[in-house]
Amino acid sequence: MTVPTRYREALLSDAGGELVLLESDNGCLLLMAPSLWAERVGGLTDNESDEERRRFWMGLSDRPEIDGAGRVLINPVLREGAGISREVMLLGVGPHFEIWDAARLTAHKEAVRSRKFRGAV
Using 50, 70 and 90 to split pLDDT, how confident is the model at 29? very high
Residue ranges per structural domain of the chain: 5-116
Which pLDDT score, from 0 to 100, does residue 3 have? 85
Q: Report the alpha-carbon distance of residue 100 to residue 98 in Å, rounded.
A: 6
Q: Report the alpha-carbon distance of residue 53 to residue 81 in Å, rounded.
A: 15
CA-based nearest residue to 91, from 26, 18, 29: 29
Q: Report the alpha-carbon distance of residue 39 to residue 71 in Å, rounded.
A: 26
Which pLDDT score, from 0 to 100, does residue 121 have? 47
Domain 5-116 has CATH 3.40.1550.20: yes
Using 50, 70 and 90 to split pLDDT, how confident is the model at 48? low
Which pLDDT score, from 0 to 100, does residue 44 have? 72
pTM: 0.82
CA-based nearest residue to 100, from 78, 76, 119: 78
